[in-house]
Structure 1
Amino acid sequence: MMHVPGLLVKCMLLTAVCMGTEWLLDDTQDSELSSRALWAEQLSLSLLPAYSLASDPTPDFFLCAPLLYEFANNSASLSNCLVSMARPVRLCQRCYMEYTQLKATMSKIGNPLQNSTVSCSTILLQSDRVQVIVSLSGFFDDLWTDSKCENCLQKNSTGILNSTSEFMDSFDSLIQCFNNTMREPPVPSQQGNYSRVCQSCNGTYKYLNNLYNNLEHTNALCIDIEDAMNGTRKLWSKTFNCTLPCTDTVPVIAVSAFILFLPVVFYLSSFLHSEQKKRKLILPKRFKSGANVANIQDKRN
């Protein structure tokens, strides 16, 4: 018969006692007894990994429990921020601190404990098949990457870039211009308030559009800026029925006309050049008569 260590036997007996205690509990019994039974069960289960087949040592569960609660609080804060900032989209600007705290907690879980060479990653991240913490952390990472938030934040997500702040300030100014103009009474000679919006806010809209184009060229766009600009363009073109005048219209028309006129110039120059050659080939009449007399005299001789 295989020899079982005495501590393992005690753990198994303690687990059995805890399970039996939970079976006997009902809704009318004191909650303190239930919490004690849960504590005893966790204590017994925390001792079992020491006898597993894994070669790496595992720390005590109670040393890793604070990190587990810290991750739970950080994930709850980040989830609350993401949902609150989903409309209008301000994920990157308002939730980067919560995301940074969550990543810091994950680093603590992976790093060795104080005065120890083992970490809590084995017991918290790899102790079950579902791997709840790993899956939840991966979900937040994918959402953060898809939102391209790093493009609008400083290195290591320590703050918001100046270009992002400048764009959002211009966006707020444009929305304020829309609201202020719409509150003004309509002008009888114009079609409602919308034409007034096009005139009053045209300069602010052009400035915001130029900022967006510059950020797009420098790859400094995140979901906050993209959503703000898309909504602004819909308001400008569909709701207010405004159009942004193109400053390159005259040069484009001039170049197009020049290109279209090139074939005409080519064929006209070819025609004139061919006519000039024909004129050179025709001999004068006096020259023809003199040439004929000379030929007749030669024949007579």
Structure 2
Amino acid sequence: MTFRIFFYIFIFMCVCIHSNCIQLPEIFSYYNENDYEIRDSECDTALKEFADSSSDFTYCTVNYSHPIHLCELCVNSYMKVEKAHTNILTVEVNGTKCKDKLINMDRLEVIESIFSNVQDLWKRAFCQKCFDWTDGKPTLSNQTKTFITYFDSAKKCINDHIKDPTIRNNTDKICEDCMTEYVTLNSFYESLKGSSETVGICMDIVDSMNATRAIWSDVLNCCRLRRTPELIFLCCTGVITALPAIFYLLAKIYCENSSKPRLVEQNRFAETLRCQPSTSLSNGY
């Protein structure tokens, strides 16, 4: 009997809910209107600026990731992300800081995770090393400007020769004519490596140099022009290095031979002649 009563009640409730005769409270609604009080406020503006700037920076880095020019071309986007994040930390609305609602109550730490990823990418690329910073404003450093000048010069020389139909297939000519520009660029890059061994080099510079070396060695095959001089140099170096070893080896052999006692073999016939006078004298007596 009890089961039937509950069954009928259940059927009645289902029919009423379907016909909207009973309005159930929205018990599964996690938020109400008060939870969105930051909308149309300074906090919401700061949040939107952070979302837009981080999105722009992400697109910029992806767009200029190959070849890598993200440091030079995405620095403005990066600064906007930093500025928007600073606003979230500092802006207050009615005595309440935006970070208390946007960051401290965010268990997933979405904002801080995004900002951390932006900073991590910027640091791994050593983008700070591309610039001189004055009052928080970046300008290309003298080293970066010098590298760009040498790089553009080498690239222009190679491209101009490749575009010339009379010599585009003559890689030896290209290598000979552009050797000075390439050696200057490569030497300057090596000097940067020596002075920045512990702090790193801007990734824009590293990628540009690697691309130039790949074209110079693999595409134009210019390094083969250095094989003959290098072979002669290596042979001479090997001979000079081996001379002391040969000298000491010969000296050792000579000393060992000179230290052995010399045995002089006497001639039996000479010994017989020395013995004959004494024999004749004894026969005379």
Scaled by the length of structure 1, the TM-score of the pair is 0.64
Q: 1:157 to 1:238 in 2, by over 3 A?
A: farther
CA distance in 2, matches of 1:264, 1:73: 74
Q: What are structure 1's unaligned runs of at least 5 residues?
A: 1-18, 21-40, 48-58, 286-301
Residues 116-127 of structure 1: pairs in structure 2 closer than 5 A: 116=95, 118-127=96-105
CA distance in 2, matches of 1:226, 1:256: 35
Q: Is 1:225 the counterpart of 2:205 in the alignment?
A: yes
Residue 92 of structure 1, CA deviation: 0.6
User: What do residues 125-148 of structure 1 show as CA deviations (whole Å, max 9, x unaligned)?
Assistant: 233333332222122122212222
Report which of the two structures shows the higher radius of gyration computed on alpha carbons. 2
CA contact (8 A) 1:92 1:223 kept: yes
Q: Is 1:261 the counterpart of 2:238 in the alignment?
A: no
Scaled by the length of structure 2, the TM-score of the pair is 0.68
Residues 232-251 of structure 1: pairs in structure 2 closer than 5 A: 232-243=212-223, 245=226
CA contact (8 A) 2:151 2:185 kept: yes
Match of 1:289 in 2: none
Higher strand share: 2
Match of 2:174 in 1: 197
Q: Is 1:153 the counterpart of 2:131 in the alignment?
A: yes
The residue type paired with residue 245 of structure 1 is R
The residue type paired with residue 142 of structure 2 is N
Match of 2:121 in 1: 143
CA distance in 2, matches of 1:218, 1:261: 37
CA contact (8 A) 1:148 1:221 kept: yes
What is the aligned residue count?
A: 230
The range that moved more, 247-256 or 139-148, is 247-256
Q: What are structure 2's unaligned runs of at least 5 residues?
A: 1-24, 27-31, 267-285
Match of 1:77 in 2: 56
Q: Is 1:92 the counterpart of 2:71 in the alignment?
A: yes
Q: Is 1:175 the counterpart of 2:155 in the alignment?
A: yes
Q: Identity of paired residues, percent?
A: 26
RMSD: 3.4
Residues 7-18 of structure 1: pairs in structure 2 closer than 5 A: none
